[in-house]
């Protein structure tokens, strides 16, 4: 089966949540080097330290201190993004999990469930701008897959993922109000985790016969 042996992977948004799980999963899949980027220096430093000292990773990777690195990057700073990629050099895979829409719009806790990736297919009222943006990214993925070929371009569209930073400012009561109905209706009968979502990204990196696709990882939420 495919691995990421010898590959250089960059994960923007890799200091926490899904991005961190992708970075760890890439190392478990024997990636040669993983660079994680985030706008917060303290979070980057802490994430790099966690990866370099992770007991599970130490069983499959040697010299983790030279295989994992961090960089400060704010996706909202166009000049910084340009400089980052100019200095980066050749890479094999780029994963972007940063720039979560939940941090860019002032949503109430009970609204968080409405702008998941599934919202593109099951839209709610008063979220036209957000869902329009999500739809544009979906279309852009297909266009870039053709224009940049043979470079592959894919997107992961997540459902509800628990245990990530997006929930840290949401009260337990608000979380329960949102998540309990969802848990009862989705076919898989459990809510997603960052590690589960990371598997989709790893699949897209390893499978060289897929491009221009949007992978729904939502526990079947789209179906009910």
Give the model confidence (pLDDT) of 69-92 as tens digits: 999 999 989 999 999 999 999 999
CATH, range 1-99: 3.40.50.720
> Which residues belong to CATH 3.40.50.720 in the chain?
1-99, 101-224
The string of pLDDT tens digits covering residues 27-57 is 999 999 999 999 999 999 999 999 999 999 9
Which pLDDT score, from 0 to 100, does residue 133 have? 79
The burial class, CB within 10 Å (0-12 / 13-18 / 19+), for 42 is exposed
DSSP letters spanning 186-209: STTSS-B-HHHHHHHHHHHHH-TT
| Architecture of the structural domain at 101-224 | 3-Layer(aba) Sandwich (3.40)
pTM of the model: 0.88
Nearest to 36 by CA among 94, 76, 122: 94
Which pLDDT score, from 0 to 100, does residue 37 have? 97
Cα(140)–Cα(65) distance, rounded to whole angstroms?
Answer: 36
Cα(189)–Cα(220) distance, rounded to whole angstroms?
Answer: 9
DSSP 5: B
């Amino acid at each position: 089966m495919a691995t990421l042996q010898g590959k250089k992977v960059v994960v923007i948004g890799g200091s926490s949540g899904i991005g961190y799980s992708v970075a760890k999963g890439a190392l478990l899949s024997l990636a040669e080097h993983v660079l994680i980027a985030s706008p917060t220096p303290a979070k980057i430093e802490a994430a790099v330290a966690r990866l370099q000292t992770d007991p599970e990773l130490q069983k499959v990777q040697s010299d983790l201190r030279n295989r994992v690195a961090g960089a400060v990057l704010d996706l909202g700073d166009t000049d910084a993004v340009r400089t980052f990629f100019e200095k980066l050099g050749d890479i094999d895979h780029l994963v972007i999990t940063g720039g979560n829409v939940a941090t860019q719009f002032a949503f109430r806790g009970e609204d968080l469930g409405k702008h998941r990736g599934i919202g593109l297919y099951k839209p709610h009222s008063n979220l036209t701008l957000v869902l329009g943006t999500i739809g544009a990214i979906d279309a852009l993925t297909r266009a870039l897959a053709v224009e940049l070929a043979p470079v592959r371009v894919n997107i992961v569209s997540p459902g509800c993922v628990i245990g990530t930073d997006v929930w840290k400012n949401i009260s337990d009561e608000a979380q329960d109000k949102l998540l309990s109905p969802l848990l009862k209706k989705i076919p898989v009968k459990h809510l997603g985790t960052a590690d589960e979502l990371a598997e989709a990204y790893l699949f897209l990196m390893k499978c060289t016969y897929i491009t221009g696709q949007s992978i729904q990882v939502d526990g079947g939420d789209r179906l009910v």
